[in-house]
């Protein structure tokens, strides 16, 4: 039996609760990083509710993205809970596991490797902060802590001139 809904796929106003339920379940099942069998979908008067148990917070995020970003449903109820005992397991066979990873990666989109590291100045120098520097000049210029040398240093240290 054909559905009576004929129109824009993202316009759910003309769909019955059963048709909307089928659409949400289908979209959730298209994402291999979700164990959609553990996610219960309820639709009441056009309002979607997701409930059940998932293995990680990332699965909750993916389910929310499917409903909001892919399907365009902005108002829904999310009752999903993370259950530490319910973790998705990768297949034991290496080739099956690689295929699953490739399928998941293809749905996530390609990584943009051409991006520059515009936040490189925000990277912290943990060793420098913990141990400081032996150079007075570097301590003044960079605001690093100064650690005096542990042994006497002669003038011209590091130069190639003979004194």
Given a cut of 60, whether residue 71 has pLDDT beyond it is yes
| Sign of the alpha-carbon torsion through 107, 113, 118, 121 | positive
Name the more confident of 81 and 117: 81
How sure is the predictor about 3, in pLDDT bands with cuts at 50, 70 and 90? very low
How sure is the predictor about 5, in pLDDT bands with cuts at 50, 70 and 90? very low
Mean pLDDT, residues 15-22 taken together: 89
- How would you classify residue 46: left for phi > 0, otherwise alpha for psi between -120 and 50, otherwise beta? left
How sure is the predictor about 42, in pLDDT bands with cuts at 50, 70 and 90? very high
pLDDT value for 1: 41
pTM: 0.49
- The residues that bridge with 81 in the sheet, in sequence order, are 53
Given a cut of 60, whether residue 162 has pLDDT beyond it is no
Tokens of 99: 């295929």
Neighbour tally for 149: CB within 10 Å: 9
Mean pLDDT, residues 2-12 taken together: 51
pLDDT tens for each residue of 94-141? 677 677 667 766 555 555 555 556 666 666 767 666 777 777 888 888
How sure is the predictor about 41, in pLDDT bands with cuts at 50, 70 and 90? very high
Mean pLDDT, residues 140-159 taken together: 69
pLDDT value for 2: 44
Find out whether 68 and 40 touch, Cβ atoms under 8 Å: no
């Amino acid at each position: 039996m054909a559905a009576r809904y004929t129109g824009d796929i993202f316009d759910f106003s003309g769909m019955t609760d059963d048709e909307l339920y089928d659409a949400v379940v289908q979209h959730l099942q298209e994402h291999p990083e979700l164990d959609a069998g553990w996610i219960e979908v309820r639709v009441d008067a056009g309002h979607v509710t997701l409930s059940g148990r998932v293995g990680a917070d990332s699965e909750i995020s993916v389910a929310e993205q499917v409903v909001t970003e892919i399907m365009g449903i902005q108002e829904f109820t999310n009752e999903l809970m993370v259950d530490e005992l319910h973790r998705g397991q990768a297949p034991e066979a290496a080739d099956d596991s690689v295929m699953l990873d490739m399928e998941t990666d293809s749905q996530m989109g390609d990584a943009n490797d051409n991006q520059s590291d515009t936040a490189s100045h925000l990277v912290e120098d943990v060793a420098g902060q913990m141990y400081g520097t032996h150079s007075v000049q570097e301590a003044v210029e960079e605001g690093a802590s100064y650690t005096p040398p542990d042994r006497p240093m002669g003038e011209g240290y590091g130069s190639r001139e003979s004194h």
